[in-house]
Amino acid sequence: MAENQYTEDNIRSLDWKEHIRLRPGMYIGKLGDGAAADDGIYILVKEVVDNCIDEFVMGNGKRVDIKVKDGKITVRDFGRGIPLGKVVEVVSKMNTGGKYDSKAFKKSVGLNGVGTKAVNALSSHFMVYSVRDGEKKEAAFSRGELISESKVEKTDEQNGTFVEFYPDEQIFKKFNYKVPYVVKMIWNYCYLNRGLAIHFNGEKFQSKDGLKDLLENNMDGDPLYPIIHIEDEDIEVAFTHGKTYGEDYYSFVNGQHTTQGGTHHSAFRESVAKIIRDFYNKNYDAADIRQSIVAAIAVKVVEPVFESQTKTKLGSQEIEPGGQSMRSFVNDFLKDKLDNYLHRNPDVAETLEKKIKQSERERKELSGIRKLARDRSKKANLHNKKLRDCRIHLTDIKDVRREETTLFITEGDSASGSITKSRDVNTQAVFSLRGKPLNCYGMTKKVVYENEEFNLVQAALDIEDDMDNLRYNNIVIATDADVDGMHIRLLLLTFFLQFFPDLVKRNHVYVLQTPLFRVRNKKKTIYCYSEDERRNALAELGKNPEITRFKGLGEISPDEFKHFIGADIRLEPVLLTKEASIDSILSYYMGKNTPDRQDFIIDNLRVEKDLEVELAADLESGDEEEIAS
């Protein structure tokens, strides 16, 4: 047996672009195809726009233009522009930038000079130009390699920087930008930078009242009392209580949306409970105070420390190096501003206390049921096979792939069996439903504990007390592509929206897309997810291919299923728009029959059997043009 050799030849040094392309996750988190809001293609946009925001914060340029079309992104700001002699270096030389001087960029988002270089290295096309005082300099790259560089030329354009890029399809497979995710990112920039105007694909976005606007535009239904909006130097807070379950937070640091929270978020949750207890001079439970809270907090930190390059969780313990702790900074602010606000607004204080007492009553009413449900859940988990967990949880090992953890919720044993046999056992778990779940619209949370199926789902996700304990980053509803499957999908979504809306709001819930057809001949197999894809496959493979219509997930063999839940998985995110509240959505789809819903069903109904008859007729005719049409 030959020995493994370890010599000088095994040691190699990677240049900046090779390292980024070899380990992209270190720089932009997970890759993804655009189905999730934190997929890498959105981080690329954010890294470029962050530089524009830093210019605005420094008082340079009040407008940013962003365009996304067919995968190509352009970003133009009207700040000072990159110094012309450094245009190439700033986007292609690591640890090069203008943010190391803390006087110039004291509270910047990015300090390490990495972001735009990562965008450059991970783009098949990257072009940048800068305009300063009537002069312009341009450079073009491909996957980090300099392709062309212009001389300094005269121009009539306004000062500022322009970046255009196309993510590399070698790295981002079949990616697609979802406009709602980009719009949400843009709105967050506007909320945190009052006075900034962002034009996205021709539409203008601007905020007047900062975090107050954020809550007004994102709350589900009306607040129980007017939004409390307080601010001071380096901190802004807005909060109220709504009518939904759980706690809903938006947290930011130096303009960065910290989707995973961090020290500032924890400090707010702790401090708001303490200040409210002190105001009423009553020892209310913190969970009762925060139940149904909707809040946003933004802080500015000198030289912030994040737990990853994607900056989704703040790790800084202090507001500035060697300065006041984050905990005392937030607490001192709330002790002053919030206490004063409640004293000046007795009507708000009265409504808030009524809400706390209501939450307290509900919690006590549920306490006995919860204990019985926990005991029942523990026994059930010992004896049932509903949950087939993944190894990350079974071994309790910290793993960098935790963000990939996925729970497939399936209907029936055959479907769950196929997924179980073909899944990645390290990160993918399967939960098998028994029949159709209960329609829980309009019910109280009591039903979550009394209904065995719901109680077991809740236990599997570990979201009974705190969303921060969520065991799976992705919750995927995997049901058949028929009427029954659609009904089960709606019943599950009703459960999540009714009792755990944060799962949807934080983009954790998806629907698995599986192929409707398999079209193949002796040389090639094509899986088709729509009628259009089926027609294209027929045209490509020619006459007499074999066509299989998949009616249920259980009909797909494990060997085939591994293609649909592996690297090429197609997930459709469940997105909420601000045009309709959760209650109105659930009332329309899951409430008692209404004339509007009946009209919708009649107008859109197309029985599946009719589609099957059409397909059979196409196949029987054998006419290629008829089949393709």
39: nearest Cα among 27, 28, 23, 26? 28
Give me the pLDDT at residue 627, please.
Answer: 40
Q: Of 50-59, 93-102, 299-308, 602-611, give the range with the top mean pLDDT.
A: 50-59
Give me the pLDDT at residue 339, please.
Answer: 93
Residues 20, 17, 113: CA angle, nearest 5 degrees: 75
Q: Is 73 left (phi over 0), alpha (psi -120 to 50) or beta?
A: beta
132 pLDDT band, cuts 50/70/90, is: very high
Give me the pLDDT at residue 189, please.
Answer: 94
- 330 in helix, strand or coil? helix
Residue 466: C-alpha distances to residues 237, 429, 538, 594, 624 (Å)? 22, 21, 50, 36, 57
Ranges for all domains in the chain classified under CATH 3.30.565.10: 16-205
128: nearest Cα among 56, 52, 22? 52
Residue 74: pLDDT over 90: yes
Share of the chain above pLDDT 70, in %: 84
Ranges for all domains in the chain classified under CATH 3.40.50.670: 384-514+554-591
The 10s digit of each residue's pLDDT in 553-599 is 777 888 888 888 887 788 888 887 765 677 777 777 777 766 777 77
35: nearest Cα among 172, 203, 214, 167? 172
Give me the pLDDT at residue 38, please.
Answer: 83
For residue 2, report the phi and psi dihedrals to the nearest 5 degrees.
-70, 140
The 10s digit of each residue's pLDDT in 462-494 is 887 777 788 898 999 998 877 788 888 889 999
Q: What does the pLDDT average to over 248-263?
A: 87
86: nearest Cα among 109, 57, 116? 116
444: nearest Cα among 363, 378, 368, 375? 363
pTM of the model: 0.77
Ranges for all domains in the chain classified under CATH 3.30.230.10: 211-359
Residue 608: pLDDT over 90: no
Q: Is 510 left (phi over 0), alpha (psi -120 to 50) or beta?
A: beta
16-205: CATH number: 3.30.565.10
* Rounded-to-integer distance, Cα 140 and Cα 248, Å: 43
In the Cβ-directed half-sphere of 65, how many Cα atoms lie within 13 Å?
Answer: 11
DSSP 398-435: --GGGGG-EEEEEEHHHHHHHHHHHS-TTTEEEEEE-S
Q: What does the pLDDT average to over 221-231?
A: 92
Q: Which CATH number fits domain 211-359: 3.40.50.300, 3.30.230.10, 2.60.40.10, 3.30.2310.20?
A: 3.30.230.10
DSSP 12-72: ----HHHHHHHSTHHHHS----SSSTTSHHHHHHHHHHHHHHHHHHTT--SEEEEEEETTE
Give me the pLDDT at residue 612, please.
Answer: 52
The 10s digit of each residue's pLDDT in 385-435 is 678 888 876 655 555 567 788 999 998 777 778 888 888 888 899 998 887
DSSP 78-105: -SS---GGGHHHHHHSTT-SS-SSTTTS
Give me the pLDDT at residue 105, please.
Answer: 55
128: nearest Cα among 75, 85, 171? 75
618 pLDDT band, cuts 50/70/90, is: low
Bigger pLDDT: 603 vs 340: 340
Q: Which CATH number fits domain 384-514+554-591: 3.40.50.12280, 3.30.470.30, 3.40.50.670, 3.20.20.140?
A: 3.40.50.670
103: nearest Cα among 361, 303, 350, 353? 303
